[in-house]
Amino acid sequence: MTSLINVNKNSKNEVISRHIYGHFAEHLGRCVYEGIWVGEESPIPNTRGIRNDVVDALKKLNIPNVRWPGGCFADEYHWKDGIGPRESRPSIVNNNWGKVTENNHFGTHEFLDFCEQLGTEPYICGNVGSGTVQEMQEWIEYITFDGQSPMADLRRKNGREKPWKLKYFGIGNENWGCGGKMRVEHYADLYRRYETFVRDYSDIPIYKIACGPSEADYHWTEVMMREGTGRTEPYSDNVMTSAWEHYRPNMHGLSLHFYTRNRANYDSSTEFTEEKWFDYMRRTVVMEELIQRHTAIMDKYDPEKNVDLIVDEWGSWFKVEPGTNPGFLYQQNTLRDALIAGINLNIFNNHCDRVHMANIAQLVNVLQAVVLTEGEKMLLTPTYHVFEMYKVHQDAKLLPVSVSTKNYSYGEDTLPMLNVSASQDDSGKVHISICNLDPNNSEQVHVNLKGLSELSSASGRLLTAEAMTEHNTFENPNRVEPVAFNNIELKENELSLTIPSKSVLVVEIQ
């Protein structure tokens, strides 16, 4: 049997928000320190302390936003520790991640400089768990207020005359866990209180993101949608609109965290057989069900879909690399991670009517990183290549797909062999991203694009490898990287191709 993909016109004009391709950088292990920040005195080439090689590599992904400073770190972070002359900043304990010393050399100015170097939007997560309302309010004032005020003046004293642009702000992180072990009923009230003081000081109103559920905690979503928001009008750029709505809680986004992991027994990232390949494919596609079920609850309270789902932590979570600090969450990244990334991004694309943003955990050297570093060396992971191949979907119009494919079976269990999404960009180019989950079998694929206007040429890029466990190392950094894939037949808006086993393919048709 040949698999059949029907690519349909989008009658609803849904757009795949570029923010689905967002990232996350926490003060955790070697993500911020070493991965991003090396300091101005470092022999590693840097611009104002930020590594040039990492910035150059990340720029090629068109990263739309970076979430910072955590994660669990966010609910213990007191932002005033991270401003002013670096030598006077206090050294603190990073209680969540290995109890190592955090010297606060990377703070608000350094993060926002990093965002400016990358050309990306900041998404800052505030401290609800151990911080005050005043502290949160003052952070926003410090970053965004152009007039005269204690915080804006302090920012100027610290060397930044003009405010930065900040739209995305999280009101706490995982407040059901490391962010305060709260019940949702308690957090919903706290959310209303904290968000009240997150003021709009500029012509970019703050887009407020509430802590949402962990995985399948549907009760959390239910209560937050019922109690956390009285406002389900869309986010508006018009400050006047939001200004008079003082007394209704504002929630523009509700976050969801879901990792592809085996919490009972964290597995190796590089040493595995087909059993674990299948297991992690199975664990990944759960994202589809989670999004559908949380969305169904959100639809009840917000049928207009004005509150967005923000999947601001996702990705693979394996056992740390042997010999590394268990608190640093440093893992390698194989072809299996490429599939995990490709499948998740396809799921987010297909649910872009509700999913506005997603942030893979994490940017450098932590969990499913796109970049790994070792001293002055840097490598790009298979996950990096998926983000680079998929960037064509950013801000493109979703083309809904219907897929009829065989199953990939392992033992008694089965999964659909192919996972797909498609979009059309402003210039009319169509992109289809196809993941073949089966590590043993290639598959003939027939793609029907008949509903679209005439397309005359097709080309592709493919990411695969000989072995499931293949990965890039500092000695061999180019083992897994995309190659051109031109074995595609296009006739009267019908495509035929054979997708290799265990691969991620992006086809461009114009």
> Which range in 50-58, 64-72, 189-197, 461-469 contacts ligand AHR by CB under 6 A?
64-72
CB of 406 within 8 A of CB of 414? no
Tell me if residue 313 is catalytic: yes
Q: Is residue 71 reached through a cis peptide bond, with omega within 30 degrees of 0 on the bond before it?
A: yes
Min dist CB 64 to ligand AHR, Å, is 19
* 121 assigned to active site: no
Q: Which two tokens stand for residue 347?
A: 């799921």
- At 57 the three-state DSSP class reads helix
364 binds ligand AHR (CB under 6 A): no
- Cβ contact 189:128 at 8 Å: no
In the complex, what is the shortest distance from the CB of residue 168 to ligand AHR, in angstroms, rounded to a whole number?
16
Cβ distance 418 to 437 under 8 Å?
Answer: yes
3-state DSSP call for residue 309?
A: strand
User: Apex CA 288: angle with CA 173 and CA 179, to 5°?
Assistant: 10
Neighbours of 41 (CB within 10 A): 7
Residue 72 contacts ligand AHR per CB under 6 A: yes
Decide whether 71 or 460 has the Cβ nearer to ligand AHR.
Answer: 71
Stretch that binds ligand AHR, among 8-16, 65-73, 438-446, 454-462 (CB under 6 A): 65-73
Q: How far is the CB of 314 from ligand AHR (least distance, A)?
A: 10
173 touches ligand AHR (CB under 6 A): yes
Size of the site for ligand AHR (CB under 6 A): 10
Q: Which residue of the chain is nearest ligand AHR when measured via CB?
A: 71
510 vs 508: CA distance, rounded Å: 7
Q: Which stretch binds ligand AHR (CB under 6 A): 33-41, 70-78, 149-157, 414-422?
A: 70-78
Does 344 help bind ligand AHR (rule: CB under 6 A)?
no
CB of 202 to ligand AHR, least distance (A): 28
Q: State how far the Cα of 71 lies from the Cα of 217, in Å rounded to an integer.
A: 18
Closest CA to 130 of 167, 180, 57: 180
Structure tokens at 260: 């592809």
Q: In angstroms, how far is CA 25 from the centroid of its own chain?
A: 10
C-beta closer to ligand AHR: residue 361 or 437 = 361
Residue number, 163 or 172, with CB nearest to ligand AHR: 172
**By CB under 6 A, residue 361 contacts ligand AHR:** yes
Rg, C-alpha atoms of the chain: 23
Q: Mark 397-416 with x for binding to ligand AHR (rule: CB under 6 A) and - for no binding.
A: --------------------
Residue type for 409, please? S
* Alpha-carbon gap, residue 71 to 415, rounded angstroms: 32
- Of 320 and 361, nearer to ligand AHR (C-beta) is 361
Which one of 76, 110, 174, 337 is in contact with ligand AHR (CB under 6 A)? 174
Q: Which stretch binds ligand AHR (CB under 6 A): 79-87, 159-167, 360-368, 468-476?
A: 360-368
CB nearer to ligand AHR: give 175 or 423.
175
Residues 287-316, mask of contacts with ligand AHR (x by CB under 6 A): --------------------------x---
> In this structure, what is the dihedral angle of CA atoms 74, 344, 323, 270, given to the nearest 10 degrees?
180
Q: Is 76 in the site for ligand AHR (CB under 6 A)?
A: no
Residue 455, C-beta contacts closer than 8 angstroms, at least 6 positions apart:
430, 449, 490, 493, 509, 510
Check residue 71 for interaction with ligand AHR (CB under 6 A).
Answer: yes
Positions of E strands within 69-181: 92-94, 100-102, 121-126, 168-171
Q: Quick one: tokens of 184?
A: 């949702």
Helix (H, G, I), strand (E, B) or coil at 154: helix
19-38 mask for ligand AHR (x: CB under 6 A)? -------x------------
As a whole number of angstroms, the distance between CA 334 and CA 368 comes to 10
- Regarding 368 and contact with ligand AHR (CB under 6 A), the answer is no
Nearer to ligand AHR, 93 or 239 (CB): 93
Q: Which residues bind ligand AHR (CB under 6 A)?
A: 26, 70-72, 173-174, 313, 361-362, 367
Q: What residues are annotated to the active site?
A: 174, 313
